[in-house]
Structure 1
Amino acid sequence: MSSTATSPAPQAADPLLSLRGLEKRFSLSGDFLEQLKFKGGKLVREQKYVHAINGVDLDIQRGEALCVVGESGCGKSTVARTVMGLITPSDGEIHYGGERIDDLSSKALMPYRRRMQMIFQNPYASLNPRMTIQQTLEEPIRLHHPDWSPQRVRDQVAEVMASVGIAPDWGARYGHEFSGGQRQRIAIARALAVDPEFIVADEPISALDVSIQAQVLNLLMEAQQERNLTYLFITHDLAVVEHFGTRVAVMYLGRVCEVAPTATLFATPRHPYTQALMSAIPRLEDERPQHLRLQGEVPTPVNLPSGCVFHGRCPHANARCRSEVPTLIATDEGGQVACHGVEEGRI
């Protein structure tokens, strides 16, 4: 089916979080003196950058779980950390609840930091080894509610510990005394302690045993239902996406290739890269589509290819793909795809 429009798909309501033209470049050139080079007998300044994310446009609706997927190095975690203000964007805008937040001062950001919390990938590194679990959970509450009495803070900690299945006696112990799954429960409790409405989860189960992953996922889903949470969920595990996500955004080399409802993306992927990803999922059915093998190597984010970043590995690429950057267009299935081939009806 061909695309029906050249603008993003209409949304039923204003998004909770909106990213527009988001870019992040990391310098490889060092300081000013290290950038000076002699070339052809002349002193020139040479700057090199890693283009981690390149013009990302995303909307996240209230109450949904938007999963961002893609291979390592595609910019998923950079998007997550930029949204949370841990990394300053090089360009673009971030709007939360209709207000732009990427240009706010640290003081002006404080109310948003209570509403937005993050769960990190590595539960072994995200807990302070010098603080007990009680202190770890009390710290964000005291920061955002300095007027609360000590008893009210302890009551809030007890409530959030019970909600994620943490025993009361864990509070007096330290992070190194727990397993990875237990530490991630503590990290989830810390994120929930200030009653946020939006949580960024950066591959929160990838460091855990498979047997523990389902428990943590179910915990996140229960918290979403009970607290009406909105998730930006970063992962590379497509099985997790199928189980957890409301919608899916597929990234490749810092750009969003496709965004669609989860069931739609798994049933009818439109972008050639998404089709290759879906074909790589192990299936038990005999009649599953043949695995699509991509040719070539992933380009370096230091020297981005011209046009579509996927054109060097795409079997449908033409001259337009090699020269013109595609933008997200709406599709008949209710998603969005950045592909000239889909727009032209070739795919």
Structure 2
Amino acid sequence: MQTDSLLEIKNLVKHFDISGGLLDQLQMENGRITRKHTVVKAVNNVSFEIRKGETLSVVGESGCGKSTLARTVMGLYPPNSGEIYYAGQRIDTLSATKMLPFRRRMQMVFQDPYASLNPRMTVRQIIEEPIYFHNRGISRGDAKEKMHAVMRSVGLDPEWSGNYPHEFSGGQRQRISIARALAVEPEFIVADEPIAALDVSIQAQILNLLMDAQEELGLTYLFISHDLSVVEHISTRVAVMYLGCLCELAPAKELFANPMHPYTTALLSAIPALGGEKKKHIHLSGDVPTPINLPSGCVFNGRCTFANDRCREEIPIARHTGTDRICACHAVEEGRL
């Protein structure tokens, strides 16, 4: 692990068994009753690091495993295999008690501000709960002062602290969620599509809030999004996922200027452009395979115009293709692009 790395994941795998009960698993094959397990392969052998102070964005189509990756990193889902390191210490094997110090340092902002806040709690209770939990013995006066300060920092009037979530707009609710995350003074925040459920007019405000907080507090972000224009604006580096696999990882400017992986190229070609030279939109053929039954070899081979027999048989390894670039593609490795 590099000295400037805050978080590192190695060969992370997260699968979900959706077989159901015993009766759901029984199937008839060739005149015999067999028991079949159905597994969703959400994240498959993903490795990367996040450096202190940067924003690493993860992009890809819906269902590619972005949110599952984020929740596994945060410990909300236990990984099937792989390793997660925070500040050099492995955390995926820690007990709930030993994980507590890291809970304060790692916080999460969820996508849906309507579902992530307890409707039975006031804003004061929502923000003060983590303050009390992570600061044993703190006085009520100090907790209230801290709560007011964090509300002001996200653009909320402290006088609203007695109100309930349903009394706020979507943008205000997301500000409350961000305030709850900042209340314990974290180093690292996972933002799981924090603006996807908001009106376009409010999205820029929330993005600016996140960027200002990062600059003022020295925060590190893992930013999950499917909005490529936002990702280009906010990111230091970008990781591209397809069907639970990491396709490419590169500095944001380099990735948007010169994508390497065929899927990244197709993904970026879909960004709308106003004025100037129009980009040619790449239409991918075929359907997206199901994560229950992944294709052999490269998961993108069925939709890639550069695929050959090796692509259909051998899983590509994410290799360094430059100073700070990673790409998992046989065609790039062989110089066929």
Aligned mates of 1:305, 1:100 — CA distance in 2:
32
2:324 partner letter: G
1:289 partner letter: K
Which residue among 50, 68, 75 is the counterpart of 2:58?
Answer: 68
* Conserved? CA contact 1:117–1:196, under 8 Å: yes
Residues 69-105 of structure 1 show CA distances to partners (whole Å, capped at 9, x for unaligned) of 0000000000011111111111111111111111111
1:106 partner letter: A
**Structure 1 partner of 2:76:** 86
Aligned mates of 2:137, 2:26 — CA distance in 1:
53
What secondary structure sits across from 1:299 in the alignment?
coil
Q: Does 1:338 align with 2:320?
A: no
1:205 partner letter: I
| Shift in Å, 1:117 | 0.3
**Structure 2 partner of 1:278:** 268
Which residue among 306, 309, 318 is the counterpart of 1:328?
Answer: 318
Which residue among 228, 235, 242 is the counterpart of 1:238?
Answer: 228
Residues 145-187 of structure 1 show CA distances to partners (whole Å, capped at 9, x for unaligned) of 1221111111111111111111011101000000000000000
**Structure 1 partner of 2:295:** 305
**Structure 2 partner of 1:122:** 112
**Structure 2 partner of 1:53:** 43
**Structure 2 partner of 1:210:** 200
Aligned mates of 2:236, 2:3 — CA distance in 1:
16
Q: Does 1:182 align with 2:185?
A: no
**Structure 2 partner of 1:152:** 142
Q: Does 1:172 align with 2:165?
A: no
Aligned mates of 1:249, 1:214 — CA distance in 2:
22
Aligned mates of 2:215, 2:253 — CA distance in 1:
20
Q: Does 1:27 align with 2:17?
A: yes
* Conserved? CA contact 1:94–1:101, under 8 Å: yes
| Shift in Å, 1:294 | 0.7
2:70 partner letter: A
**Structure 2 partner of 1:290:** 280
Which residue among 179, 194, 214 is the counterpart of 1:224?
Answer: 214
**Structure 2 partner of 1:7:** none
| Shift in Å, 1:37 | 3.7
What secondary structure sits across from 1:215 in the alignment?
helix
**Structure 1 partner of 2:93:** 103
What secondary structure sits across from 1:16 in the alignment?
strand
The percentage of counterpart residues that share the same residue type is 61
Aligned mates of 2:289, 2:232 — CA distance in 1:
28
Consecutive unaligned residues in structure 1, runs of 5 or more:
1-10
* Conserved? CA contact 1:264–1:333, under 8 Å: no
- Structure 1 length as normaliser, TM-score? 0.94
| Shift in Å, 1:33 | 4.9
Which residue among 246, 252, 257 is the counterpart of 1:262?
Answer: 252
Segment of structure 1 superposing worse, 191-200 or 88-97: 88-97
**Structure 2 partner of 1:5:** none
Aligned mates of 2:324, 2:274 — CA distance in 1:
28
What secondary structure sits across from 1:312 in the alignment?
helix
| Shift in Å, 1:34 | 3.6
What secondary structure sits across from 2:94 in the alignment?
coil
Aligned mates of 2:277, 2:116 — CA distance in 1:
44
What secondary structure sits across from 2:281 in the alignment?
coil
2:191 partner letter: A
Aligned mates of 2:141, 2:222 — CA distance in 1:
33
* Conserved? CA contact 1:68–1:232, under 8 Å: yes
- Paired residues, number: 337
- Structure 2 length as normaliser, TM-score? 0.97
What secondary structure sits across from 2:48 in the alignment?
strand
What secondary structure sits across from 2:64 in the alignment?
coil
Q: Does 1:316 align with 2:288?
A: no
Residues 12-44 of structure 1 show CA distances to partners (whole Å, capped at 9, x for unaligned) of 634211111111111121134543444345443
Residues 182-224 of structure 1 show CA distances to partners (whole Å, capped at 9, x for unaligned) of 0000000000000000000000001001110000000000000
| Shift in Å, 1:287 | 2.5
Aligned mates of 2:301, 2:39 — CA distance in 1:
21
